[in-house]
Copies of this chain bind each other. A is one copy, B any other.
Amino acid sequence: MTNEMGAVRIAAEDLRGFAANILERTGLSPQDAKVAAAAIVESDLSGADGHGIFRLPQYVRRIRAGGINVAAKIKLAADAPSSAVVDGDNGLGHLVLSRATTLAVEKAAATGSAWIGVRGGNHAGAASVWAAAMLPHDMIGLYLAVGSANHMAPLGGIERLLSTNPIAIAVPTLDEPPVVLDMATTVAAYGKVKIAAQRGEMMPEGWMIDLEGRPLTDPKRAEEGLLVPSGGYKGYALAFVFGLLAGTLNDAAFGADVVDFNKDDVTPTNTGQAVLAISLARFGDVTAFKKRVDHIVRQMRNSARMPGVSAIHIPGEGRHACRDERSRDGVPIPAPLLAILNKLAADVGVPLLHG
């Protein structure tokens, strides 16, 4: 997916229009289709290729199988001045998260900070998209999710009770790229395993282990193995606690209740997520804060390096550069993906994508 050989460039706007057309044909209202399409393409712009338009065929398959409710009535299952639980009514994850982040921004603007839990949602694309959604509002954003398929066991265990449960945090800046962290609690996200399998490459040691704890490096055997938590016990503990916060707190699925959305198109996933917004204006002068972050970013970037190290990277700078480049030059769509998307377009009767 990240291999650009044979890729065509498609303008983000065209990609959004394409995705919106397809989603509308599968039953979403024109407005919902537009909102969801924009959120999907945000993942592509950010460089999270495995979480963007690449997923559209899977979403459509799930919608057609009845596993996503295209007429979801998203509602508040709980509501307080600085918290809420959004019940997604099994709607498309992007619509549910759009509602949750909008609500977080509104409540944080009114009170200083807000924590919004989600249940009854679905896969919502790259984590960074929802943390970064707070940036234009001069807010810090945080996002946690229960991953949509369990590929990890508790440390020392062999039962797949945990997902890659990611965290994303976005912090506004003035002149520097926003600081955006987006990480799985596993060494490698499962998408990387799938890409290795597609390419016929072996995985490095450390990504996965088999059920006896030995390194598993053949991605074609991934189903027999387990993802390894990042930092050992620490990654396991983070995945556990993020699962409680993003899932259990909201009465969403966590642990054995997680539905593998790659294998099962029908059962509602009851996906759980959480967003936090912190309004900078309630902490002091907003511009002064952003200048302080710029200063820290430059201090780190310009600090002395080890021999052989060409650059010190700042979380989010790669994403920012990718957004700039793809907003200007279009999103690279590999030929095999283009074929799949255009087959889908032909199927539902909407205009094809052209590079």
Q: What is the bound-complex CA distance between A248 and B295, given in angstroms?
A: 10
How many copies are assembled? 2
Q: What is the bound-complex CA distance between A203 and B159, given in angstroms?
A: 33
Contact B179 A78 (CB under 8 A): no
Contact of A84 among B112, B256, B311, B314 (CB under 8 A): B112
Interface hit among A37-45, A239-247, A328-336: A239-247
Contact of A292 among B80, B157, B248 (CB under 8 A): B248
Contact A282 B154 (CB under 8 A): no
Contact B248 A289 (CB under 8 A): yes
Binding site for B on A (CB under 8 A): 77-78, 80-85, 107-108, 110-115, 117, 140, 153-159, 161, 169, 171, 179, 181, 183, 187, 211-213, 230-231, 233-235, 237-238, 240-241, 243-245, 248-251, 254-256, 276, 278-280, 282-284, 288-289, 292-293, 295-296, 299-301, 303-307, 309, 311-315
Contact A83 B304 (CB under 8 A): no
Q: What is the bound-complex CA distance between A276 and B83, given in angstroms?
A: 12
Contact A231 B233 (CB under 8 A): no
Residue of B nearest to A78 (CB): B283
Contact B187 A231 (CB under 8 A): yes
